[in-house]
Structure 1
Amino acid sequence: MLIAAFQVPAALAVVSALFTAALAQRLEPQINTWNSTFELTAEHIAAAGLTPGLAQSINVAVRFEQTNWATGSVLADPFYTSLPGNASNAPAGSLLKLEAYTDVSTYTIAPALALSRFVYQSRTFNGTLVPVSAYILWPYLPRGGASQAPVVVWGHGTSGIYAECAPSHVRNLWNQFTAPYTLALAGYAVVAPDYAGLGVPFYPNGDLIVHPYGLSPAHGNDLLYAAQAAKAAFPSRLTRDFVVMGHSQGGGAAWAAAEQQVKLKLPGYLGTIALAPTTDGLGLARTVGLVGVASIQVANAIISVFPNVSFSDILTPLGLASNQLLEQVQGCNSAYNALALPLLFSGAVLSQPEFEDGYYINRWQNISLTGGKDFQGPLLVLHGTADGSIPESFTSDAVEATCKRYPRNQLHYVRAQNVGHTSILYATQQLWMDWLDDRFGLGHSSAEARSEDSSHASSQTAARKRCTVSAVGTDTPRPLSQYQSELSYYLMLSQDIYTIA
């Protein structure tokens, strides 16, 4: 999603109050569990014009992030910084380097799971070859009982825009039980790219790799090529067949992968699951009046695509100072929210008014849109009606536009009543798990699913079934108001026996 991980409800004043309370409760240093001593310098504080309170909030947020690094800084980890000689010219989808056995003792992955990391070749939106890091989360027992584990390529939600924001070096792999752990515990091998610019920091020639945040077609390339490279790394342990799945930013990436697959036609592709996807991030930012805050995140990406645009074209001096501060400290979601939300509620102007509806930002919106385009199905889309980060109406509009233009493509849209942005993964877990089983031929209804793809089915019947919409949550065992709305916990490494629940 375009506005990081915080919610965008109708009444910003309510969020302001909640945010103030959250800062008081959550952004207090916990020295007994945090192993970071990060401190903003006087130069940082002066350059960004930070108040003492805001500086302390950012300090706490960055300490929290750094404490959750499993492998230290990516900038000091040869796995990310040392590339092989063929990294400049190996074809997209090539395996560049492999860490077959990753030490999981510093991660907080679930029991009975194992981890590998690898670097592979992908392509940017402009077609440039780019090295990308990824992890594979291994099941103990492959689903279906075969020696090869079926592959789900996972597209993560917004973690940040800098190299240190790579899920592969975060203790809980960023999304923990929302999907990766759940999938692997169910017997699927989870192949999870960090996305270009997250993890591997530099091209082979030493140039910085910019994360093209919000540019879903580029993220879609990363997902598809990761499947190829993972299979090359473990040909006897992973299936060639794979499903692409993602949430939020990763949901848009997964949908875009289905669109990219129309021309790439990579072998083994079985379909896509997109949950709470970003379909029009800039449109969302405009709708809720957050273009300025969003510009801090996308300025680097816009310039990477349109090099004749400068930072001063996009950002005001305050916006530029905020952008530079986050880059200098490699601040990810927590740090971004700690900085951006107070600026938002103070009414600070972060982006140049003439840029907010100018030529380049409109071009950016057009190339980053997902939906309304041809795609290779089947495509399962799920979204909660109580999503405060990406309103369900954006996905509904994208589905409607897609089905109108491509009514014979296989797309099923599920609206989950009173379900939020992250909780969509939990509320609909049975649905997407059954869908995965069907695609891999492991489920009870796999024969029925395959019959819909059969050439023997009448075209009229197939057309009626191609684009469908349904709803869940209309008859829950308990009133909808009684269900936990979103995550209220995080995972931390346990080093003391009394902390084990």
Structure 2
Amino acid sequence: MAYVIMHFSLLVAVSFGVARAQQYAIHAQPNTFNSSFTLSASHRQLYNLSTLLSKNVEVALNYERSNWALGSIDDDGFYDAPSVTNSTPAGTLLRVEEVTDTSYYTIAPNLAMSRILYVTETLNGSMVPASAYVLWPWHAKSFSDSSLNVSGVPVVAWAHGTSGVYGECAPSHIRNLWYQFSAPYILALQGYAVVAPDYAGLGVNQTLEGDDVIHQYMAGPAHANDLFYAVEAARKAFSDLSKQFVVMGHSQGGLAAWSAAERQARKPVEGYLGAIAASPTTDIMQIFQAAPAAQIALAWRIGQGLSTIFPDFQLSEWLTGEGVRRVELMKELGGCNSVETQLFPPVKADLSRNQYFQRFSEVTSAGRKPISGPMLVMQGEDDPVVDAGVTASTVNDTCSAYSDSQIQYASFGGATHVPVLNAGQQLWLKFIEERFMGIDVGKGCSTTTFSPLRPLDAYQKDLEHYLQLAMEWYTVA
């Protein structure tokens, strides 16, 4: 029967294609179909860009802009936040877009989307507006046998990995929501409502009064706030969301998830069931020491927001003059990860000895502190971004210092950074389900190493594709 249905669908597609082919000429669709930005001569001169580098920046930027869902955030009124003051409670719901037009996105079929604006709290205690999306399943996962009396659509708070540090880098503004089938699509397809903050400074990057909302990159406690307050605001917007929720994140979002578990130990929130931290950037100091090249990728991102934490900090203390100018260009262009691969701002020296970096690491890193609830930590042994040894050390130190920690550490041999989510998909889906089922987890930590069934070199190692909006009817692959 399945073959008959598939065969019939193919016949319909072919018949439809034949009919259209007789009426319309088809056209090639490039990956920069929606943008044609070029740098001016003054840009090239001011920022000392060679002809080749200028061209590369243009290609990367136009690729990014072609993957914006609804144009620039400056032209999308949704991100124009109402006034927020420091007396506005965090978790306040500011705006609800109940039905987001998903025809501009590349989400999986039979998923729906909403967007919200809410109030969150930065690392230094300021209240700022922020954005988030809610990804809805077709049918809610049921937990009728749960001891927790779960009702409504079960919630997973999703914390994304690095997408950039400027407003245009918000996942809610990107066609594939940044992590697509690596996590959020899978979660929604499994029946969970995915509440996903963009993080403060991404999406909403300016207050009503015209003040910048700057992203405090890698500030774990601030990202944890974004998660908890996004869930609180989403519940106010949509009464059919469950009161129970699990937190999950990867990379920068892994830091957010681990920080959420630490926050829960200090400031409990009703309904929190546990956390999943995949490839977590827990200890920035150790990551820098283990992989000095990481300083190039991380230093400028941290530095561009550091003055909101340490007002006397100057970016020129970390970056060369050329590096500072390149950050200025990145901000002007609203460039995100693709553009950054062309404009790595040069750093001055080993930042691990810098007082500002040391202070930042002390107040933002996760690990070696009490956590609340069960936590699954997943790490790829071949991760080129987050050193596996750093993650293992952070887990071991936390478990040694706090013997009642409930940490399940899962190591995946041969897995790299984002693909650890694919390798461990069965594990994290089971972990989430068991939390909603109310299955008890005993005190103490455990470590499990997973290896592939087939020889490692037989597997696809990294993500070698991207999703693109189909603008031509024949693009059906």
- Please, what TM-score do these two structures have when normalized by structure 1? 0.85
Q: Which residue in the other structure is 1:489 paired with?
A: 465
Is 1:256 matched with 2:252?
no
| Inter-partner Cα distance in structure 2 for 1:297 and 1:309 | 14
| Inter-partner Cα distance in structure 2 for 1:396 and 1:86 | 41
| Inter-partner Cα distance in structure 2 for 1:159 and 1:120 | 20
| Inter-partner Cα distance in structure 2 for 1:145 and 1:283 | 41
Deviations 1:457-498 (A, max 9, x none): xxxxx44xx21111111xx43112211111110000012121
| Inter-partner Cα distance in structure 1 for 2:297 and 2:410 | 31
CA contact (8 A) 2:82 2:207 kept: no
| Inter-partner Cα distance in structure 2 for 1:144 and 1:31 | 42
Alpha-carbon distance, 1:413 to partner: 0.4
| Inter-partner Cα distance in structure 1 for 2:290 and 2:36 | 39
Q: Secondary structure at the match of 1:320?
A: helix
| Inter-partner Cα distance in structure 1 for 2:91 and 2:60 | 36
Alpha-carbon distance, 1:31 to partner: 4.4
| Inter-partner Cα distance in structure 2 for 1:377 and 1:413 | 14
| Inter-partner Cα distance in structure 2 for 1:45 and 1:294 | 25
| Inter-partner Cα distance in structure 2 for 1:358 and 1:438 | 44
Q: Secondary structure at the match of 2:281?
A: coil
Is 1:224 matched with 2:228?
yes
Q: Secondary structure at the match of 1:500?
A: coil
Alpha-carbon distance, 1:351 to partner: 2.8
Q: Which residue in the other structure is 2:18 paired with?
A: none
What does residue range 331-410 of structure 1 map to in structure 2 within 5 Å?
331-340=335-344, 350-353=346-349, 357-410=353-406
| Inter-partner Cα distance in structure 1 for 2:243 and 2:348 | 48
Alpha-carbon distance, 1:391 to partner: 1.5
Q: Secondary structure at the match of 1:284?
A: helix
The alpha-carbon distance between structure 1 residues 32 and 245, as it changes in their structure 2 partners (threshold 3 A), is closer
Q: Which residue in the other structure is 2:169 paired with?
A: 165
Q: Which residue in the other structure is 1:105 paired with?
A: 103
Q: Which residue in the other structure is 1:233 paired with?
A: 237
| Inter-partner Cα distance in structure 2 for 1:354 and 1:386 | 24
Q: Which residue in the other structure is 1:433 paired with?
A: 429
Of residues 144, 148, 168, the one that matches 2:142 is 144
Q: Output the amino acid matched with 1:357.
A: R
Q: Which residue in the other structure is 2:202 paired with?
A: 198
Q: Which residue in the other structure is 1:295 paired with?
A: 299
| Inter-partner Cα distance in structure 2 for 1:407 and 1:145 | 31
CA contact (8 A) 2:244 2:271 kept: yes
The alpha-carbon distance between structure 1 residues 183 and 41, as it changes in their structure 2 partners (threshold 3 A), is same
Which moved further from structure 2: 141-150 or 295-304? 141-150
Q: Output the amino acid matched with 2:448.
A: S
The alpha-carbon distance between structure 1 residues 392 and 287, as it changes in their structure 2 partners (threshold 3 A), is closer
| Inter-partner Cα distance in structure 1 for 2:455 and 2:75 | 51
What does residue range 7-156 of structure 1 map to in structure 2 within 5 Å?
31=30, 34-81=33-80, 83-85=81-83, 89-144=87-142, 148-156=152-160
Q: Which residue in the other structure is 2:325 paired with?
A: 321
Gaps of 5+ in 2: 1-27, 145-150
| Inter-partner Cα distance in structure 1 for 2:351 and 2:252 | 23
Alpha-carbon distance, 1:396 to partner: 0.3
| Inter-partner Cα distance in structure 1 for 2:297 and 2:42 | 23
Q: Output the amino acid matched with 1:155.
A: A
| Inter-partner Cα distance in structure 1 for 2:87 and 2:114 | 24
The alpha-carbon distance between structure 1 residues 293 and 422, as it changes in their structure 2 partners (threshold 3 A), is closer
- Please, what TM-score do these two structures have when normalized by structure 2? 0.89
Q: Secondary structure at the match of 1:208?
A: coil
Alpha-carbon distance, 1:208 to partner: 0.4
CA contact (8 A) 1:161 1:213 kept: yes
| Inter-partner Cα distance in structure 2 for 1:32 and 1:429 | 29
Percent identical across equivalent pairs?
43
Q: Which residue in the other structure is 1:6 paired with?
A: none
Which moved further from structure 2: 96-105 or 204-213? 204-213
The alpha-carbon distance between structure 1 residues 115 and 210, as it changes in their structure 2 partners (threshold 3 A), is same
Q: Output the amino acid matched with 1:232.
A: K
Deviations 1:173-227 (A, max 9, x none): 0000000000000000000000000000113432101101111111111011111
Alpha-carbon distance, 1:389 to partner: 1.4
